Structure 1
């Protein structure tokens, strides 16, 4: 019985990972995602030159902004993407959810530059 429960838990864990991998495969090469991934060298103007966001949210007491994008791939699949900016207007966070979700999760609390894991 324990072996069955462990197998079910492993399958559920992997299905969550596979969903994230599927999103990356579907939207990782989208121009908005690719530009946001360049990080702290990318400005709000750079992002606006690619695509206008569906919504702009003031963050950190109005000192910075977060852009909500509604991405669509070639097959018609849609995915939200948020891009957060520092108070100086450069990307410091992005992810496959909305600005509202990112704010609630605390992903947009920092005004520092984007950190990279090397």
Structure 2
């Protein structure tokens, strides 16, 4: 019984991850997602030049910012995307949720530059 419950918990956790991955794939060609994925070479100004965020949130005690975007792809599907910045103003995190959710989850705690696995 414990094994079944553990398996169910893993399945639920993975479905959330897969949902986020699926959404990123659906929006991968969107200019905001494409630019955010370039990481630490992209500035706040670069992101603002592509699309104005629906909300800007101060993070890490006001030393950095997070942009909330409401995206829509070619097929009309909508998704929320957050883009977090370092205190120097460069992208260091992005994902499929809101800035508020990303802060609560601890995704925006670090001021380190985004690492790439090229």
For normalisation by structure 2, the TM-score amounts to: 0.85
Q: Deviations over 1:80-101 (max 9, x none)?
A: 0000001110000000110001
| Distance in 2 between residues matched to 1:112 and 1:11, nearest whole Å | 31
| Distance in 2 between residues matched to 1:70 and 1:58, nearest whole Å | 18
Structure 2 residue aligned with 1:56: 56
What displacement does 1:24 show?
2.5
What displacement does 1:26 show?
1.2
Q: Does the residue aligned with 1:61 lie in a helix, a strand or coil?
A: helix
What displacement does 1:9 show?
7.7
Which structure would you say has the larger Rg? 1
Q: Kindly tell me: are residues 44 and 26 of structure 1, through their superposed partners in 2, closer, same or farther at Cα, counting changes over 3 Å?
A: same
Structure 2 residue aligned with 1:67: 67
Structure 1 residue aligned with 2:100: 100
Question: How do residues 14-93 of structure 1 correspond to structure 2 at under 5 angstroms?
Answer: 15-16=15-16, 18-93=18-93
Figure out how many residues of one structure are paired with residues of the other and give that number: 118
For normalisation by structure 1, the TM-score amounts to: 0.85
| Distance in 1 between residues matched to 2:18 and 2:61, nearest whole Å | 36
Q: Deviations over 1:57-88 (max 9, x none)?
A: 00000000000000001111110000000111
- Cα RMSD over matched residues? 2.3
Alignment gaps of 5+ in structure 1: none
